[in-house]
Amino acid sequence: MNSIVSVKGLHKTFGGRPVLSNINMEVSSGEFVVIFGPNGAGKTTLIKTIATLTQPTKGIVSIEGREAHKHSVDVRRSIGLVSHDTFLYDSLTAEENLLFYGRMFGVDEELLKNRVNQLISDSGLDMRMRDRVATFSKGMKQRLSIARALIHSPCVLLLDEPYSGLDPEATEIFNNFVIRDKDIRVKIMASHNIENGFKLCTRAVIVQNGKIVFNRQKSDIGDAEDFELIYREILGF
Amino acid sequence: MLKSFHIAIKDLRTEFRTKQMLNSMIVFSLIVIVIFGISFSDVAGDMEVIEQLAPGILWISFAFVATIGISRSFSDEIKNRCIDGLRMCPVDTGAIYTGKMLSTIMLLFIVEMLVIPLFSVMFNYTIQGVPELVLIIFLGTAGIVCVGLLLSAITINSRSGELLLPVLLFPLIIPVIIPAVISTGKILAGGSISDIIDELRLLGVYVIIFYVISRILFEYTIQE
Amino acid sequence: MTEKLIKDSDIAIQINDLNLWYGTTHALKDISIDIPRNKVTSLIGPSGCGKSTFIRCLNRMNDLIRSCRIEGEVLVDGENIYDDNVDVVELRKRVGMVFQKPNPFPMSIADNISYGPRIHGEKDKKRLESITEEALSSAALWDEVSDRLSKSALDLSGGQQQRLCIARTLAVKPEIILFDEPCSALDPISTAKIEELIMDLKNEYTIVIVTHNMQQAARISDYTAYFLLGELIEYGDTEQIFENPQEKSTEDYITGRFG
């Protein structure tokens, strides 16, 4: 199977301190890779590097066969990023936010209106479409943030700890939204929520001290309890 | 280019909704003009004196208002890390810079166009050569913003950012302020456009050079 | 430890002198047991007796625990699965596993089933569709989901999700299916459905099931093995174990005196 996302020999140092060391990862179409690991392990840096927000110190990230950091402007058309920051403008309405990002991504103006309506509907925000984002709850903002990340129908969805501050109900709604989109071929998520992350993944990766220490298909791991055991053992607690 | 416009329009829409920045800029310029108005109240109506004071008073208020505008220009993008949202778009960082520049210039320009009649009223002084004045103000503002935005991006991450900005900005905009003040003086004294060609050229060159430099350097200020 | 209950040709898995350590803890001690083909063998015993640890040895799930050390043999069709040249991916295809908590993929029902075959190289759409139908039918789930195969698997009830997981295992055509307390997270009705399914499946597959529910073991299994503190205490015909246990410890457990 051809990889949609390919990471080869990735190193990243921040001010002399190594944050990622020799990361190698191939993600194929249909996979949902969840990256687990303690705080400071390098998960966020890895996601941001794949997203082209951070430059690698060494190594190559490829998206659909193209070198991501060489062709970053181009490659970003294929990527959607959801972070614990929403990238939303509080004083604009939900609709205005989506229209703005849609235009920034070059979505055809004629199709844009429909796409915005569709996404707003999918995120269950129909009633609040014309309300300013500042008036939204955290859960609603996160849902809108996914809608924003999907406005241009990317084939790669990157999620960086998207659950912080979400209650169980909001988490459920968020999960459903993430799973539903058919255009997304690859999902990569960094999470410290083991139970939820394991439920959603098809492959689990554990990062510790900037290195990948575990990388397996879910069917090879067992159930959530098995994974928790493995996780604890690897991290030593 | 189109995307720069979308960013600029987004900025303007955001600002007009909250009017936070506009309000503080208008109030500030009001304060400056009123204070000067009071201190020079005995010369109100004396055209000759005011002619000499006017360029200075106007450009002081423009410079301070510009500082407010520039230091707030990225505050929108910092909240919720929208700057990363923008960087995730398939758009050159230069285009982001241009968009920000356009919206900041527009907002400053609006306030400046309010200051002029305010000044007129306060000092009981009729202003001549309004079109030429508008051109000077536009170029001068553009020059200040070009440099200012880059500095704002640089100082954003430092803790003393808001204090640092004017300290760094003012020396750098002296090549803008000087021709701006001089040409303003000439126009208010009844000059025509041919009298200020030199100053306009200086301003124009400054804007072009610093636009290009800042646009290129901007990339490095927001990179990680 | 066990007498020759079963003819050699009817043995699906032969375990010889299996010992397992987690670090310094000796978790399984000298286990020798023959698992018969096309029968249901249940593993019972109190919490912590080692039955879950043991069943995970049968398809090398324990490999993932670094501190785990194994001695002894586990022979599937005469070959030791712990030999160095064994393809673990192939092994887990032949010896599938269903867990306590259902763990469907966050995808459609159809994609869940076809995921395994696709990973193993099957690309033909028509074949994938028929594999999916077959697996879901064998798992007694087809009738309930045939009209919504593209819906998310996470929308199914717990019992349906568990049957989906069984279907997923069946889709790659295993020989042996291991169940680790598959019903403990389910309601009585779903439990009954799965028990029925398991008794059906034994006609084509070898089944090993861990259960803390003795009544369940008595209901569905042909052979029962009783574990205590990492040792195999007694193994035999289910009827014999429950009606005429040879060891006192077995008797105590079955009559509920402890555990």
Q: Which residues of C touch A224 (CB under 8 A)?
A: 101, 103
**Distance (Å, rounded) from C-alpha B97 to C-alpha B87?**
11
The answer to whether C190 touches C110, Cβ cutoff 8 Å, is no
C259 pLDDT higher than 70 = no
In chain C, % helix, strand, coil (3-state, to 5) comes to 40, 25, 35
Q: Is residue A135 part of a domain?
A: no
Q: Is residue A163 part of a domain?
A: yes
* Chain A with chain C: Cβ pairs closer than 8 A: 64
Write down which chains contact chain C via at least 3 CB pairs under 8 A: A
Q: Where are the alpha helices (DSSP H) in chain A?
A: 43-50, 72-75, 94-104, 109-122, 138-150, 168-180, 194-200, 224-235
**Distance (Å, rounded) from C-alpha A38 to C-alpha A206?**
9
Q: Is residue A65 part of a domain?
A: yes
Three-state secondary-structure class, residue C43: strand
Whole-structure pTM over 0.90, yes or no? no
Å between A77 CA and nearest CA of chain B: 6
Query: Other C-beta atoms within 10 Å of A112: how many?
Result: 19
Q: What is the DSSP string of B75-100?
A: HHHHGGGHHHHHHTSSS-HHHHHHHH
The answer to whether B43 touches B49, Cβ cutoff 8 Å, is yes
Considering only the beta carbons, identify the residue of A83, A89, A104 that sits closest to B6. Answer: A104
Q: CATH code at C29?
A: 3.40.50.300
Number of domains forming the structure of chain C: 1
Helical packing angle, A94-104 and B2-18, nearest 10°: 160
Q: Which residues of C touch A234 (CB under 8 A)?
A: 66
Residues 6 or more apart whose CB falls under 8 angstroms from that of A218 comprise: A198, A201, A202, A203, A204, C103, C105
Residue B90 sits at the chain A interface (C-beta within 8 Å)? yes
Å between B109 CA and nearest CA of chain A: 22
Torsion of CA C164, C170, C172, C178, to 10 degrees: 100
B156 pLDDT higher than 80 = no
Q: Which amino acid is located at C127 in the chain?
A: R
Question: What is the phi/psi pair of residue A46, to 5°?
Answer: -65, -45
Residue A195 sits at the chain C interface (C-beta within 8 Å)? no
| Least confident span in B102-106, C11-15, C103-107 | C103-107
**Distance (Å, rounded) from C-alpha A7 to C-alpha C115?**
23
pLDDT digits (tens, 9 = 90+) for A137-171: 988 999 999 999 999 999 999 999 888 878 888 88
pLDDT digits (tens, 9 = 90+) for B68-97: 888 888 888 888 899 999 999 999 899 999
Q: Is residue A147 part of a domain?
A: no
Q: Which amino acid is located at C3 in the chain?
A: E
Question: What is the phi/psi pair of residue C124, to 5°?
Answer: -65, 125
Domain span at A57: 3-84+105-115+155-177+185-235
Nearest residue of A to residue B81 by CA position? A87
Q: What is the DSSP letter of A159?
A: E
Domain span at C43: 2-103+175-254
Q: Is residue C28 part of a domain?
A: yes
pLDDT digits (tens, 9 = 90+) for C78-89: 899 999 889 988
Using CA atoms, how far residue C90 sits from B199, C120, C138, C147, in Å, is 81, 9, 22, 32
Considering only the beta carbons, identify the residue of A178, A219, A230 that sits closest to C64. Answer: A230
- Supply A59's token pair: 């190594």
Q: Is residue C183 part of a domain?
A: yes
Strand partners, A7: A25, A61
> Cβ A223–C66 below 8 Å, yes or no?
no
Number of domains forming the structure of chain B: 1
Q: Is residue A50 part of a domain?
A: yes
C4 pLDDT higher than 70 = no
Q: What is the DSSP letter of A88?
A: -
Residues 6 or more apart whose CB falls under 8 angstroms from that of B110 comprise: B22
Number of domains forming the structure of chain A: 1
What is the arrangement of strands in the sheet containing A58-63, beginning at the earlier edge strand? Answer: A17-28, A3-14, A58-63, A66-67
Considering only the beta carbons, identify the residue of A55, A81, A100 that sits closest to B6. Answer: A100
Q: What is the pLDDT of residue C69?
A: 92
Look up the ipTM and state it: 0.90
Does B contact C via 3+ CB–CB distances below 8 Å?
A: no
The answer to whether B97 touches B218, Cβ cutoff 8 Å, is yes
Domain span at B145: 2-221
For range B139-147, the mean pLDDT:
94
Q: CATH code at A195?
A: 3.40.50.300
Q: Is residue C65 part of a domain?
A: yes
**Distance (Å, rounded) from C-alpha C111 to C-alpha C108?**
5
Q: What is the pLDDT of residue A1?
A: 47
Residues 6 or more apart whose CB falls under 8 angstroms from that of B154 comprise: B221
Q: Is residue A111 part of a domain?
A: yes
- Supply B206's token pair: 């400054």
A93 pLDDT higher than 90 = yes
Q: Is residue A173 part of a domain?
A: yes
Query: What value does the mean pLDDT of chain B take?
Result: 88
Q: What is the pLDDT of residue C3?
A: 54
Nearest residue of C to residue A228 by CA position? C65
Run of H or E including C154? none
- Supply B195's token pair: 């009298």
| Least confident span in A26-30, B193-197, C165-169 | B193-197
Q: Is residue A213 part of a domain?
A: yes
Long-range Cβ pairs for the range A23-27 (8 Å, 24+): A23/A59, A23/A207, A23/A210, A23/A211, A23/A212, A24/A212, A25/A205, A25/A212, A25/A215, A27/A3, A27/A186, A27/A188, A27/A203
